[in-house]
A = this chain, B = another copy of it.
């Protein structure tokens, strides 16, 4: 096992980073590589070995290792939850939520986030070198599932000597991992906050993912997944996939409020195919910037993992059975204008938890910001997480 740890943040409190975010005490990142003696059994039947888990931590692990908050990232997220992102130089994806004095308070909690298995930010995925061939895995990478992602996280926690976690939380695909954590490792999860998520991926969401995958695979530069061997990149296909997905992250109201039919730097339509409307220009920008930071094959694998997610199927077809006898305290959160992971999906989770009288609170946040709301400043949402987490910590004497 190789363990590399590098600090990417100055260990200085209350300073300001270049991006204007408060510096976080002891923000660190690292990678752990697990060798053949610790092969990871995947749902597809493959024993993955070796594999590396890349992670970032924020705050200080207390002496009895009881203040751990595991944050699980969404489809295109990564381990850089807070602080300054090492490649983009921008604030981490949840920097409004995680930090000193913020709802997930790094002055109190030790926050850990791993790049998911199949990802492209340091954890083993299709862009890493297959030791068997000396070339990038590409489509030779085994198919991974949400349960596999969580398995890899558990291995990292074992390696760190962390037994129980105070809380596991995350939105969207992060929420799927939270549910998997709670169902498969109930004794290790004191509290769980699945946000804007679902216990299984819907037909509509599978359909949207399939559109994105077909867009990538339609790009000749994808080369059957082998583009890394030739130095190519299916940029156009990946950008289209991102654009299609991005529309689903926003609500119709948010798009209307943000853009309406406003024109982009012009007074009248051009009667052409340029981006006349601001919403077109915005979408194109989303597509173009995404391809610089994400691997197309990772996108295929991770969307597939989400499609395959059906927690009930792994527990005799009953979601309630998945949570039977759990001592975990749950806080299920949804957003009114989220049509990708609508409130009805969260209600299904709550219903299953109620079937065996689990400890569960359910909060539906009123917002017009759509699925993306879980990444944005929503005061009621922030208050909910802060309150729930404080109560869970108090109960544990933290």
Contacts and interface: CB of A to CB of B under 8 A. Distances in A.
Interface of A: 43-45, 139, 142-143, 200-204, 206-208, 210-211, 213-215, 217-220, 236-237, 239-240, 243-244, 247, 250, 252, 255-256, 258-261, 269, 271-273, 275-277, 279-280, 283-284, 287, 300, 304, 307-308, 310, 339, 342
A240 B256 contact: no
B207 A255 contact: yes
Given A203-B277, A207-B247, A214-B240, 7 more contacts: A203-B260, A207-B283, A210-B283, A218-B218, A218-B219, A244-B244, A269-B308
Contacts of A200: 261
Contacts of A280: 206-207, 210
A80 B126 CA distance: 48
A256 B204 contact: yes
Contact of A218 (B239, B259, B261, B271): B239
A206 B256 CA distance: 11
A43 B271 CA distance: 9
A223 to B, nearest CB: 13
Contacts of A240: 211, 214-215, 218, 240
A293 to B, nearest CB: 19
Nearest to A205: B252
Nearest to A220: B220
Contacts of A342: 252
A211 B283 CA distance: 8
A43, A206, A237: most-surrounded residue (chain B CB, <10 A) = A206
Question: What is the total number of copies of this protein in its complex?
Answer: 2
Contacts of A259: 203
A304 B269 CA distance: 11
Given A271-B142, A280-B210, A255 B202 contact: yes
Given A259-B203, A279-B206, A307-B277, A284 B214 contact: yes
Nearest to A142: B271
B239 A214 contact: yes
B202 A256 contact: yes
Contact of A211 (B217, B247, B269): B247
A214 B287 contact: yes
A234 to B, nearest CB: 9
A215 to B, nearest CB: 5
B206 A261 contact: yes
22 contacts: A142-B271, A200-B261, A202-B255, A202-B256, A203-B258, A203-B260, A203-B261, A204-B250, A207-B243, A207-B247, A210-B279, A210-B283, A211-B243, A211-B247, A213-B273, A214-B239, A214-B287, A215-B215, A218-B237, A218-B240, A244-B244, A273-B304
B273 A211 contact: no
A239 to B, nearest CB: 7
Contact of A277 (B142, B206, B244, B247): B206
Nearest 3 CB-CB pairings of A with B: A218-B236, A143-B271, A44-B271
A237 B215 CA distance: 7
Contacts of A204: 247, 250, 252, 255-256
B304 A256 contact: no
A300 B274 CA distance: 12
Nearest to A256: B203
